[in-house]
Structure 1
Amino acid sequence: MPLTNLLCGLLETGVNQLHQLDSSAVSKRKQLNGTIIAASLKELNFPLYFIISDQQVDVLNKFEGEPDCTIKVSMQALNKLQDNRQLTQLIKSGELEVDGDIQLVQKFAMLLTDMQIDWEEHLSKKVGDVIAHNLCQHAKTAFETTQSQYKRVEKQSALYLTEEIKLAPSALEVAHFSDRVSSLASDADLLLNKINNKLEKQLNNLSHTKALADKNDKN
């Protein structure tokens, strides 16, 4: 079995099984009913076709026809697709390429990632209320700790790049540089205006001198 077929099968099964646990999945699929979206990661560069219906999401590696929307996104930008405010910036930065309705991108991202699943309730049916509650609390704590550690490492990395090895400018340095550029541009405009004024005066003087000379020649 080709790798893409295996990937499609795993992705399709995983998404639809999670949707069975997601109380909001049916309404989200209805919003995209009949929609075909071609999506690919920039790092992999081969499309997968998501065919969305009321009942489920089918994932194919080939599709004869034109999709309603084509999306190419970098892996690091996946978690930003739900936020309308970031879509324009992602497109400008090249992390996201869209051929089609940008609103479909957000709805599609929410369909795949914004799942409202009550894990504790589903686990309680398998292992009981107490164990399910403890497992979910431990998972929540672990997730929050991981997020906190990630943010701390990200902040420390930024400080190391800007303050220690000076590989990247700090925010203050960028602001100062921008101010200096603006000031330089303003000074250049003033200088250009002065040069233009002087040239204009000299041209006027030359014209006046020439007119007098022509008048004297005629006399």
Structure 2
Amino acid sequence: MPLVNLLCGLLETGVNQLHSLDSGAAVKRKQLNGVVVGVSLKEVNFPLYFAISEQQVDILHQFEGEPNCRIQVSLSALGKIQDNNELTNLIKTDQLEVEGDIQLVQQFAQLLTEMDIDWEEHLSHKVGDVIAHKLCYHAKSLSKESKNQFSKIEKQTALYLTEEIKLAPSALEVVYFCDQVSLLNEQTERLEQRIEKRLTNK
């Protein structure tokens, strides 16, 4: 399938070019030398295999053999995989399925997402220091504004779901429900103790 090979080639070139700009990529690749990770998105049945060596990352559509680990992840959860605090929650909510060593998954995610690239330094060689500084400054401002807007949209959507159309419970309703469940649990335990006491005394 030429189209699949072209896509894998483009992804592979992009990843390795970014790694050539990242001062810490070589160390991360060395830690994963010889590891093969199978990745597929839950939304798309299109597996990819990342074969990692000290020199580069090869991306394949087919792999003969068994990868060191397999990952099936939701598109929305891609950016959270490298966060150790998020992994358990992602697995519990079925946004992430892992076959193999979870530590490999974290290292692999860090290899692809945590890149230390000094864009201003690299751009300055092409367009000069002043223009490079201005471009990076505006890019950071745009990124910050985009994150703020996205956060506002998330809050407004949550309010609409909980307050307007009552599709989801509010935070207070969830707390109240949990309190009621705890109270019911305590009452049940006390009732069980009374019954057990009476049976013992007979």
Shared fold by TM > 0.5? yes
Equivalent position SS for 1:97: strand
Question: Shift in Å at residue 4 of structure 1?
Answer: 2.3
Tell me how far 1:2 sits from its aligned partner: 3.8
User: 2:17 corresponds to which letter in structure 1?
Assistant: Q
Q: C-alpha distance in 2, partners of 1:57/1:187?
A: 59
Q: Which residue of 1 aligns with 2:48?
A: 48
Match for residue 212 of structure 1?
none
CA displacement 1:16-68 (0-9 Å, x = unmatched): 11111111111111111111111111111231111111111100101111111
What residue number does 2:97 align with? 97
Aligned mates of 2:64, 2:117 — CA distance in 1: 34
| CA drift at 1:3 | 3.4
Q: Which residue of 2 aligns with 1:171?
A: 171
Q: What's the offset of the Cα at 1:200?
A: 6.1
- Give the distance between the partners of 1:3 and 1:189, measured in 2 at CA: 63
Q: CA deviation at 1:199?
A: 5.9
**Structure 2: gaps spanning 5 or more residues:** none
Secondary structure in 1 matching 2:33: coil
Percent sequence identity over matched residues? Answer: 65
| 2:196 counterpart of 1:182 | no
Specify the SS of the correspondent of 1:123.
helix
Aligned partner of residue 34 in structure 1, secondary structure: coil
Structure 1: distance between partners of 2:127 and 2:65: 47
What's the CA shift for 1:196?
5.0
In 1: Cα distance, 2:4 partner to 2:164 partner: 44
1:27 counterpart residue number: 27
Q: What residue is the counterpart of 1:208 in the other structure? A: none
Give me the whole-angstrom Cα distance separating, in 2, the residues matched to 1:125 and 1:200. 86
Alignment of 1:91-130 (within 5 A): 91-130=91-130
Give CA deviations for 1:75-99 in whole Å, capped at 9, x if unaligned. 1111101111111221121111111
What's the TM-score once normalised by structure 1's chain length? 0.87
Aligned length: 202
In 2, distance between residues paired with 1:178 and 1:13? 51
State how far apart, in whole Å, the 1-side matches of 2:196 and 2:114 are. Answer: 61
Aligned residue type for 2:88 = T
